[in-house]
Structure 1
Amino acid sequence: MKLFSLKKIIVVILTLGLIVLLIAQLSLPSKPSGKEYIALAKKYDVEVLRDPLGIPHVYGKTDGDTAFGLAYVQSEDDFETLQSIIIATRGMRSAEVGFDAIESDFVVQFMGVWDTVNAHYDAKVPEKIKLIAQAYADGVNLYAAENLDAVSRYLLPVTAKDVIAGFTFKTPMFYGFDKILSDVVNGNLLIAEASENSVPIGSQGIAIAPHRSAEGQTHLLINSHQPLTGPVAWYEARLNSEEGWNMAGSTFPGAPVIIHGHNESLGWANTVNKPDLVDVYQLNINPDNDNQYLLDGKWTDFSVKTAKLTVKLLGPIRWTFNKDIKISQHGPVMETEHGLFAMRWAGMNEVRTLEFMLDANKAKNINEFEAAIKLKAMPSINFVYADKDGNIAHYYNAQFPKRSVEADWLDVLPGDRSNLIWNEYHDFTLMPKTHNPVSGLVYNANNPPWQATDGADDAKVSDYPASMGIESFVTNRALQIEALFATQEKISMQALKEAKYDLSYHPQSNQIRHFSAWLAEQKDSAYSTLEAEALSALRKWNLSTHKDNEQAALAVMTLEPVQTGRGKKVSFDDTTLAFKTAVSKLVKYHGSFEVPYGEVFRLKRGNKNLAMSGGPDILRAVYGQEMDENGQIENIAGDGFMMFVSWDKNGLVSSEAIHQYGAATDLQDSPHYNDQMEMFVDHKERRVLFEREEVEKQAKRRYRPGQ
């Protein structure tokens, strides 16, 4: 059963001639004049300096001033994405775009995003965080008021609650909540607009202590892998306030803080982790009363709320569709043709994520950084940490449910036992972590926390309960990191860069073990002459994804089912089909199955189309989409914004960074729309301007939003 049969319902309504009723019930909200937002902006004291690459350096007197300025510059560079995120967080995208967003809107209401924010905002969000959130909202409102032609009727006013709700809605998606929700509804895709979640992405962070580095410095690699465009693509900024906020790094549209980067004292990289943070309960329904479910031997009433979903039909015509959502003591209930399932997940009542992030941004040492983590306000995400004092650490951070009863927590749980409903999270002491290992190296590349250093002092799996559901899959990137550094007594910054841009698969990776076993079973006689020749070419592949490698494109395309399987068993038949398809496409578009890899895998933006090295689950991460009519596969996810950070022996910070495109995210007529692409594909970085005096000397534009 599909989640909705809205299209059929609407067609029936129209067929019955009720269009008059539709029009009578609906009207578009009017656009405000915007004058009040322009007037309100004058209370903020902030200056923006754009450097030669258009990167915004935001200097505010207070933290609120800086957040206001960040919102304004993000709006300047990509207002369309920022606006769509805010409207989506409200569950109102289908009113703007129609049926394509209806399921995403339903998920917002199923998760109770606004129930949570409205219930906990006053008591659990500190006043300083409300100020930051409202200042950010005011920055968006100012830009909108100045550019009313680009503003949706469903946007203004943006509020502090919109900002808080964005974290409540988005953060569970990083550990795969949407995928599990989709599975509950028997594979129906629930978040049609969130296509980035279907892309196999990774991330890596590496930190090196002074005693392991060749320069006697602390080094940090910040290298998250995200979609290159859209709501979770990285936006670079430099933030400073006179209240001690002093960060360089990147963030997402809608976030008033730097999500990963560094200040003068410390920095961190984020990588996705996916422990078991969602529980699904199958409910027994009273055959005589479908509003009751069995719990501890008694029939218990559901509470019910109504999701109101406004959908664009034609022109100005909208229709509000009501759908009841049942709620059990476990959580909201999804009704499917296979039964009723209640869901419970980490972060389901969380409104403190912005507080955690601001505290991390302003932390000055490892104790203050750990104090932020101890808030337990971030549902998931690894942190690879380094600081000027030489401390390095890996934190396998998550809100781990305190599951006190023995059960198969990875399976669907019986819904009739209240002792399976957890209400607390484990504290910081039970978070897997590796702190200042003897080897002087920590890393994460979406691998288990038991593999976080090249020494013997990793966290031990035996010290943690199985009910935490910690992942076990080891990525190719994790294997390569250890292999590349295994023989290096000292690691220089140059060696760190060479490792980050490594282009090879490890012989013992999941991909190559499968690939080798598949190749060993293939008989030339089972293939056409052309395909048999292609098999011979594959046997020559040296596991590299360099842009000049002539077997890499065929190999990477053949391995596509293994990549998307992420450790799950893949049949040889699926690999064979991928191989045959790859041969056919390469010959069709390039005249040969042996073609330089960079002629197939490309980075595209505006008028630029550049050859790339790297591939899926390679340390130089490149994830593509379907081959186009020119025989090219466009890079759409993986390596994007990245930083190399160092603290010297005197504790002074310096960093280099690169963005896959440029600072002007959505401004196609700007020189900064794609001006970093050549450096990016050539594996080069540019120095980050951290000191204001240097920024002022090089600034190409200075202005005060709202003044």
Structure 2
Amino acid sequence: MGKKILIAVTALLASIYIGFWATAPRSVDPQQYQMLADKYQVRIVRDKYAVPHIFGARDVDAAFGLAYAHGEDDFETMQDVLLVTRGKLATLHGVDAAKTDYLVQFMGVWDVVDAGYESRINQQTRDHAQAYADGVNYYASENPDKIAAGLLPVTAKDIVAGFTFKTPLFYGFDQAVAAVVEGRYGTGLDKLAYLQVTDSPQPDLGSQGIAIAPSRSDDGYTRLLVNSHQPLTGPVAWYEARVKTDQGWDMAGSTFPGAPVILHGHGPTLGWASTVNKPDLVDVYQLTINPNNEDQYLLDDQWRNFEVKDAAIDVTFWGPIRWTFHEAIYRSVHGPVFKTEKGAFALRWAGMDEMRTLEEMLAMNKARTKADFEAALSMTASPSINYVYADKEGNIAHYYNAMMPKRPVGEKFSSIDWLGLVPGDQSDLIWQGYYPFERMPSTVNPPSGFVYNANNSPYHSSVGEGQPKPQDYESSMGIQTNVSNRALRIEALFGDDEAISREDLHNYKYDNRYAEGSVVDHVIKRLLAMSFEPESELQAGQKLLQSWDLATDAESRIAALGVLTSSPFVMALMREEPEPDLTEVFEKSLTLLQHHFGRIDPKWGEVNRLVRGDKSWPLSGAPDVLRAVYGEFDEEAGYQKATAGDSYIMFVEWAPDGKVSSRTIHNFGSATLDATSSHYDDQAPIFASEKERALPLDMATLMAEKTSDKRIGGY
């Protein structure tokens, strides 16, 4: 868990009844899972860069193989993800992880999954999840020394529950929780703090997807850019894989640890890019507590009893010593409740009762036509995430996908501020259900021949006609209206290009410039209008920035000062935080550069580095540009290390005859944790040089470059 987290939850846990275990519970004997190999038949061929290509007769065979292959490359992170989902991460990582474990129980993740597992998801999904869980168990049976106490057996429910817990975090549920427990909700500072599952930067710092129709390309091809921005390591870092079965599961792309499907990428006939979207999907209700009974709240002029449940959180301190913390979780008809010094607040959020997300994702993975893909989305089982879509028939689309609460509308409710505190004493303000897929904003086959999303408003998804209009949607849906720098640059680059080539798309993707009218443009103009003491370093820096073209090339001697000065303002806008003081930031940037580089104008690539082990490479790019790079300055190393942003990149294209091909690159390589492997960093220099490699999609090409070929169960 990150450091900027639920401080109030820590206080709660510290005040709790404590139980003591002399020894940690032991895991079951992993050797018993050796027999699982007899249930599946899978072949895992690793290509030149050791990316796994997983083949099976059945979908469940490939799911088993995907888990096994991912375990070979990153079992430690997979294990952490599974323990997080169970609310048991503190058994492995101690007290800091207790806040995450509490959140899992507060959200009622396992109540939802246990209640609906047999009845709400189909047998195909349950079998798929179980096969993936079996792959983890089988890998553990071969590597018993890597297993945390209590991990085994991994079950299908663990896999399903992972989606119920993690997907709301992508649209910012955690930010609302942090604001409530820290007593800041309704103060106008609701989003000053944020909760993180790890110390890595938040996964919603950016992403973009772009699709080009044959009518807009110079050669009649359909093209798709898959370009999500994630932390470069950790539980939401991309892992590349390809799966192919005789039952029609055929996808190449990337996924997260613990996810038994490809989360974005392409199949033979269609593909999609995923980007984070953030409509208003969380409501906070202020409750009135009975002054004579703190376990009751007011609803429709009647006192109602809270439901009360015990949260038991197991924390490892020293070796085998554990403590069990207990805290009551209160629940009203609105949802779970936090009691703070500022009052009692109930939370209601999109996806709080949802466990079918994996079923929807599996249907997307198996889709072969636009109708199939839209049918999958019509399940409305994924709390959020945009999809930029393209297929071999030349269809392109942007779907602003979300489970949007069907809040009450009409004159009676016109004064309700759904972004602030909602009165908790009126039952008619407690929304029920979600808008159907047909009511989601979408841009499908617009006349312009291209669609995009860069974490911006769906009302800006192309140029010209065919885009959704704000007046067609209820304001209570809370649809985004923001426009990012990347959106501005996409429209500027693509808007007037009537014949977009393969090279154009590649060059546009790696554009590293800030747009006129962007927050950076405004910051620099403000800075240039300021007065500084003659002959001072501040004036020297100001003079340097007068000639900055707002580009962030690695060779630029102006970008370092420009980016370091403007990035805090970019991040403040993204996180909806107050702006810092411009003069202070400018002075700090000048001091940092002078101290570490002996000049205020080092090359940006000397400052901005991709680091893997003891190697590093210069990078172009910066926050909120299309070549997205987010970093943290390492005082000891003396440069900025990239931590998030561009990570897994895929260019997909369908020729006029329907044949698909793709080029991909990963920020590091397939061997996520093994620093002794050549595949720990073999893609890093290619990534830094803004190139990709051809993905081998046919067996002959794959076999010509394979680095290993493993069979499990006699495939």
Match of 1:474 among 479, 483, 501: 483
Distance in 2 between residues matched to 1:189 and 1:538, nearest whole Å: 32
What amino acid maps onto 2:461 in structure 1? A
Distance in 2 between residues matched to 1:612 and 1:577, nearest whole Å: 26
What amino acid maps onto 2:428 in structure 1? N
Distance in 1 between residues matched to 2:576 and 2:441, nearest whole Å: 28
Distance in 2 between residues matched to 1:213 and 1:114, nearest whole Å: 48
Distance in 2 between residues matched to 1:230 and 1:567, nearest whole Å: 22
List alignment gaps of at least 5 residues for structure 2.
1-6, 185-191
The C-alpha deviation readout for 1:524-557, integer Å capped at 9, x for no partner, is 22x8711211111122211010001111111111
In the other structure, the counterpart of 2:110 is: 114
The C-alpha deviation readout for 1:115-148, integer Å capped at 9, x for no partner, is 1100111110111101000000000001111111
| Structure 1 residues 534-613: aligned runs within 5 Å | 534-566=541-573, 574-613=581-620
Partners of 1:380 and 1:397 within 8 A in 2 = yes
The C-alpha deviation readout for 1:416-475, integer Å capped at 9, x for no partner, is 011111111000121000000001010000110010012222111110010010112210
In the other structure, the counterpart of 2:526 is: 517
Shift of 1:628: 2.4
Shift of 1:383: 0.3
Q: What secondary structure does 1:549 align onto? A: coil
Q: What secondary structure does 1:344 align onto? A: strand
Match of 2:677 among 667, 670, 689: 670
In the other structure, the counterpart of 2:211 is: 207
Shift of 1:679: 0.9
Distance in 2 between residues matched to 1:3 and 1:47, nearest whole Å: 46
What amino acid maps onto 1:430 in structure 2? R
In the other structure, the counterpart of 1:422 is: 431
Partners of 1:168 and 1:347 within 8 A in 2 = yes
TM-score w.r.t. structure 1 length? 0.96
Q: Please tell me whether residue 625 in structure 1 is matched to residue 632 in structure 2.
A: yes
Distance in 2 between residues matched to 1:148 and 1:569, nearest whole Å: 46
Match of 2:170 among 168, 174, 183: 174
Distance in 1 between residues matched to 2:673 and 2:713, nearest whole Å: 22
Distance in 2 between residues matched to 1:168 and 1:567, nearest whole Å: 25
Match of 1:363 among 344, 364, 367: 367
Q: What secondary structure does 1:2 align onto? A: helix
Distance in 2 between residues matched to 1:250 and 1:192, nearest whole Å: 22
What amino acid maps onto 1:545 in structure 2? T
In the other structure, the counterpart of 2:301 is: 297
In the other structure, the counterpart of 1:337 is: 341
What amino acid maps onto 2:673 in structure 1? D
Shift of 1:191: 4.4
Shift of 1:189: 6.6
Partners of 2:164 and 2:354 within 8 A in 1 = yes
Match of 1:456 among 461, 465, 469: 465
The C-alpha deviation readout for 1:304-350, integer Å capped at 9, x for no partner, is 11111011122211111111011000000011111110000001011
List alignment gaps of at least 5 residues for structure 1.
14-20
Distance in 2 between residues matched to 1:571 and 1:22, nearest whole Å: 43
Partners of 2:201 and 2:643 within 8 A in 1 = no
Are residues 194 and 437 of structure 1, via their aligned partners in 2, closer, same or farther at CA, if it must alter by over 3 Å? same
Shift of 1:631: 2.2
What amino acid maps onto 1:524 in structure 2? F
Distance in 2 between residues matched to 1:52 and 1:203, nearest whole Å: 27
In the other structure, the counterpart of 1:132 is: 128
Distance in 2 between residues matched to 1:315 and 1:448, nearest whole Å: 50
Q: What secondary structure does 2:438 align onto? A: helix
Partners of 1:218 and 1:388 within 8 A in 2 = yes
In the other structure, the counterpart of 1:255 is: 259
Q: What secondary structure does 1:140 align onto? A: helix
Q: Please tell me whether residue 506 in structure 1 is matched to residue 510 in structure 2.
A: no
Partners of 2:205 and 2:574 within 8 A in 1 = no
| More displaced stretch, 161-170 vs 606-615 | 606-615
Partners of 1:205 and 1:443 within 8 A in 2 = yes
Q: What secondary structure does 1:230 align onto? A: coil
| More displaced stretch, 452-461 vs 637-646 | 452-461
What amino acid maps onto 1:613 in structure 2? S
Q: What secondary structure does 1:524 align onto? A: coil
Q: What percentage of aligned pairs have identical amino acids? A: 49
Distance in 1 between residues matched to 2:472 and 2:195, nearest whole Å: 37
Q: What secondary structure does 2:178 align onto? A: helix
In the other structure, the counterpart of 1:151 is: 147
Partners of 1:562 and 1:570 within 8 A in 2 = no
Distance in 2 between residues matched to 1:469 and 1:225, nearest whole Å: 24
Partners of 1:548 and 1:597 within 8 A in 2 = yes
Distance in 2 between residues matched to 1:256 and 1:488, nearest whole Å: 39
Distance in 1 between residues matched to 2:575 and 2:691, nearest whole Å: 35
Partners of 1:142 and 1:706 within 8 A in 2 = no
Match of 2:324 among 320, 326, 335: 320
Shift of 1:502: 0.3
Distance in 2 between residues matched to 1:83 and 1:392, nearest whole Å: 38
Match of 1:141 among 112, 117, 137: 137
Are residues 429 and 301 of structure 1, via their aligned partners in 2, closer, same or farther at CA, if it must alter by over 3 Å? same
Q: Please tell me whether residue 271 in structure 1 is matched to residue 271 in structure 2.
A: no
Q: What secondary structure does 1:109 align onto? A: helix
Are residues 72 and 322 of structure 1, via their aligned partners in 2, closer, same or farther at CA, if it must alter by over 3 Å? same
Distance in 2 between residues matched to 1:199 and 1:262, nearest whole Å: 22
The C-alpha deviation readout for 1:341-389, integer Å capped at 9, x for no partner, is 0000001011111111111011010000000000001100000000000
Match of 1:5 among 8, 11, 31: 11
In the other structure, the counterpart of 1:17 is: none
What amino acid maps onto 1:123 in structure 2? S
Partners of 2:207 and 2:275 within 8 A in 1 = yes
Q: Please tell me whether residue 87 in structure 1 is matched to residue 91 in structure 2.
A: no
| Structure 1 residues 94-105: aligned runs within 5 Å | 94-105=90-101
How many residues align? The count is 695
Distance in 2 between residues matched to 1:687 and 1:234, nearest whole Å: 18
Distance in 1 between residues matched to 2:94 and 2:142, nearest whole Å: 27
TM-score w.r.t. structure 2 length? 0.95
The C-alpha deviation readout for 1:266-321, integer Å capped at 9, x for no partner, is 00000100000000001000000001000011111111111110111222111111
In the other structure, the counterpart of 2:653 is: 646
Distance in 1 between residues matched to 2:15 and 2:317, nearest whole Å: 12
Distance in 2 between residues matched to 1:569 and 1:699, nearest whole Å: 47
What amino acid maps onto 1:320 in structure 2? T
In the other structure, the counterpart of 1:655 is: 662
The C-alpha deviation readout for 1:2-23, integer Å capped at 9, x for no partner, is 223367558xx9xxxxxxx955
Partners of 1:95 and 1:312 within 8 A in 2 = yes
Partners of 1:561 and 1:570 within 8 A in 2 = no
Partners of 2:174 and 2:196 within 8 A in 1 = no
Partners of 2:202 and 2:231 within 8 A in 1 = no
What amino acid maps onto 1:213 in structure 2? S
Distance in 2 between residues matched to 1:22 and 1:454, nearest whole Å: 62
Q: Please tell me whether residue 42 in structure 1 is matched to residue 38 in structure 2.
A: yes
Are residues 81 and 572 of structure 1, via their aligned partners in 2, closer, same or farther at CA, if it must alter by over 3 Å? closer
Partners of 1:78 and 1:664 within 8 A in 2 = yes
| Structure 1 residues 211-230: aligned runs within 5 Å | 211-230=215-234
In the other structure, the counterpart of 2:157 is: 161
